Structure 1
């Protein structure tokens, strides 16, 4: 059953159009990766889906209801959003930070269930030993795990992640996405991730949506979307796409625009 649907969504910042007629039906238990060049609208789309931004046209539906008609407190129980930048709050411990993921209204009072779910989430993500440490004391990779824990501690139906692997080394990128893949499958979450790294999108996503100038250029399984023709048309690069052990591997060869510029100069 589809719990989330985006219908004919368009968004503008003033006179500047950012998203145009976006449609998508991501599935529970699956990861949908949103890719595209810089300023293609990836972050804006995530903010429209979670209700931070209001589209000028179209709608976002959660279980058949427009999110604009759902109370924010109720919506926060079902849709979790992890932005690209999460500044560390020096005076909060890991436990307190994750516990705040249970906050749905200003009248919230901590219950035994809140405390129990926080402990369980820390344990399931393998970071319970960090619970008493302050965020400012953690590495970038550890902080990302804490913010993921904060996003899933209230067991959301929809998880929106904006560049969750940014500023992480290769090992931590894989560890974070392995964890997200596992949580998505086990908890039947509808997960949407904005990514820059195309090889990570190929490895971890069940569906890929390519945005270009605010429009959906292509959508489908990674093997049908991540093609050499798409990379040339959308990213302006020459590339080789090969499959290894059932996973696509993309090798960027050179920039088409630079090559054309050299020819003109010659």
Structure 2
């Protein structure tokens, strides 16, 4: 099942509007889709049977039947599985998917851009703002000059004042958020480089990007009671751990730990 979901995600931006309805349905409820007849899926997605057949072929399946078989493999869950096991299984699937989307060459390119950056501006709006704040917290503690920007007006201001040597890290699952794109465009005009963490290719954001790290389709997170995309968190952890393996960065991080400890400030945030 995971390979089919990845295939659908990879072709998503090239699909027609009606085909995207099918993709959204399958990605948001693969188990339900695996139990639907072609007529039921057509009714639920508001498309014709022929559109579903055409979609199956675009998703590298010979027929609708083959697509159902691929969806069914690994989607069956025991009634006794329980919430905890379901959650663990979902996490494993998501992590397996984001690992399979990983490109080591692209990751190395991202790391090089971060190391060479004079300043880092981490952009994210809405739920992506949570990821931006988390990455900023990590990088700041390792000695990077970084700032999380989660307000669209402040993004425009920061981008207007950027210069060569600066790097923008943009979190956007859709890659089409207008406010973010306007700021990113402005930053690029000023000479900043751009790293995108996004779920879709062939978008305005990816076209502007110097390097891209891929996240999973947003619908895969719908069952979670959190705004933070787990695949984004995986990438944040991966970046953090790679830098912490460098003695200089680790020393900076430990210095901040000691500073916090010596002040007596609790590491637990309180309301």
Q: What band does the TM-score fall into relative to the shorter chain?
A: under 0.3
User: Which has more strand, going by share of residues?
Assistant: 1
The structure that has the greater radius of gyration is 2
Higher relative contact order (Cα pairs below 8 Å, separated by 6+ residues): 1
User: Which has more helix, going by share of residues?
Assistant: 2
TM-score for the superposition, normalised by structure 1: 0.27
